[in-house]
Structures are given as structure tokens and as C-alpha cells.
Amino acid sequence: MRVKKLLHTRMRVSDMDRTIAFYRDVLGLDVLERHTSPRGSHLAFLSVPNSEALIELCSFPPSGPVKVQEDLVHLAFEVEDLDDTIAQLTAAGVPITDGPTRSSSGSRFLFIDAPDGYEIELIERPPGTAPA
């Protein structure tokens, strides 16, 4: 067997509206669909610019609070200009949890936290650099 492509990644969240606001207002993602599953999970699918893969947010309060283990998983997004990104994050009151750091390839990156503690990496790559 060989898979064809990545369709979506599911992340369980505590507060759907707060989490959607973060991904929409801070990162600029679009909400494509929101609905409730037959078992009662609240679902939202977010689109990422220049990508076919979606992020699926899932809130299921009967499961209890979401506890994200440190360094277990993160999402990485490319940004055009890291200095501009830092200014926008600062203006929005979003704390930078690590960085900015320059890699040996010349890329620069930083980390922020989404609601529930999911780590988000924002990367500025020099022109012509292969994806990391």
C-alpha cells in the first residue's frame, strides 16, 4: 500500500471558538466548514494557504480537558518576512515562546503557542531553499 496524499490533521481543542479565532486572526487561516458529528464532536476544518491539506479541530467536552504534551507535536508554517511577523504578533499580544533563531541553511524561525499549548513554528526561508 502507498498513500496518495495527506488530507488533514486532527487536533483536539478545549474551546473551539477561541481556537478558531487564533488560527483565523493570528495566522490567517480560513474556516471551510463547521459541523457536529453524529457522536457529538464539534468539528471545524481550516484551510492553509498554498496547501491542500486541512487542519481539523475537534472539541468533545465529555473527553475532559485537553493536555498537550510538551514537544510532542507542532505545526510549521512558512511566512514571507519574519520581522514583519514578529511586529504583527507583538501588536496582537501573542508571546513568542522561542526564537527568533537562524538555522545553518539561513532560514529564520520562531515559536508561538496556540490555545491548549500546541506549538506553532513560523519559518522564513531564503529564496531557493528546499523545504525543511
> Does 89 share its domain with 107?
yes
Last residue of a domain, one of 17, 33, 60: 60
Q: Which residues contact 77 (CB under 8 A, 6 or more apart)?
A: 27, 48, 120, 121, 122, 123
Please state, rounded to an integer, the average pLDDT across all residues of the chain: 91
> Does 79 share its domain with 126?
yes
Q: Could you tell me the residue range of the domain that residue 120 belongs to?
A: 69-132
> Does 75 share its domain with 111?
yes
Query: Cell for 35?
Result: 459541523
Q: Indicate the pLDDT class of residue 128, thresholds 50, 70 and 90.
A: confident
Active site residue 121: yes
Instruction: Please report the pLDDT score of residue 132 as a whole number.
Output: 53
Taking the CA atoms of residue 11, residue 17, residue 20 and residue 22 in that order, the dihedral angle to the nearest 10 degrees is -110
pTM, 2 dp? 0.87
53-71 per-position pLDDT tens digit: 999 999 998 888 888 887 7
Query: What is the C-alpha to C-alpha distance for residues 114 and 95, in angstroms, rounded to an integer?
Result: 10
Instruction: Please report the pLDDT score of residue 131 as a whole number.
Output: 58
- Is residue 100 within 8 A of residue 83, CB to CB? The reply is no
8-56 per-position pLDDT tens digit: 999 999 999 999 999 999 999 999 999 999 989 999 999 999 999 999 9
> Does 30 share its domain with 82?
no
5: helix, strand or coil? coil
> Does 56 share its domain with 74?
no
Task: Specify the CATH number for the domain of residue 83.
Answer: 3.10.180.10
Domain count, the chain: 2
Which entry of 33, 52, 121, 124 is annotated as an active-site residue? 121
Query: What is the C-alpha to C-alpha distance for residues 53 and 47, in angstroms, rounded to an integer?
Result: 7
